[in-house]
Amino acid sequence: MSQPLSYKLAVLVFLENAAGEHLLLLRAKPPNFGIWSPIGGKLETAIGESPFECAVRETKEETGFEITTADLHLFAMVAEKAYEGESHWLMFLFRCRRPLNVLPADITEGKFGFFSRATIDTLPIPETDRTALWPTYDRYRDRFVALRADCAPGKAVVAEVEEIIPPVG
């Protein structure tokens, strides 16, 4: 019998500049080494960090951009089973409402670039980002959705909607 997989809690933060281009990080470390993805990181569970607090901290640590929880819109919660066969992930996806107008300096995690949404589809990005993450962003960025996806190796990743909350107003 195989060992149970660990569960990791993480955030991704979608930042844009005033032109609507998305900030992505060309990752220099696993997971996602050598491919582009939004910034983010794991929650500090030992201190009881909330997903919003984590998004604020990761944005500051990775980009130097200081935001508050009020600058963030939580647009998705995604439960990924067996990502790369290594672990399960519960991810909270945030859209920052404040534009970032300066390309951040390179960090040990990788280097940054701003890209139009159309260009992102041509970049080397994780397959789950291509099939589930970016389509989720496109469809739900102004509201909220809860999704689950089985990402086990050899399976086609299909994100299943568990709940959708329409935009307020």
CATH number, domain of 92, equals 3.90.79.10
**Domain carrying residue 76:** 6-165
In a domain, 96, yes or no: yes
pLDDT on residue 100: 95
Residue range 96-123: mean pLDDT, rounded: 96
In a domain, 84, yes or no: yes
Q: What are phi and psi of 133, to 5 degrees?
A: -65, -55
* Residue 123 pLDDT > 60: yes
* Residue 132 pLDDT > 70: yes
The whole-angstrom separation of Cα 75 and Cα 86 is 26
Tell me the pTM.
0.89
pLDDT on residue 150: 81
Of the chain, the percentage scoring pLDDT greater than 70 comes to 93
In a domain, 1, yes or no: no
In a domain, 13, yes or no: yes
In a domain, 31, yes or no: yes
In a domain, 20, yes or no: yes
Predicted confidence (pLDDT) per residue in 25-51, tens digit = 999 988 789 999 999 999 999 999 999
pLDDT on residue 169: 59
The whole-angstrom separation of Cα 122 and Cα 11 is 24
Confidence band, pLDDT 50/70/90 cuts, at residue 165:
confident
Q: In total, how many domains does the chain have?
A: 1
pLDDT on residue 41: 93
Residue range 114-143: mean pLDDT, rounded: 93
Confidence band, pLDDT 50/70/90 cuts, at residue 154:
confident
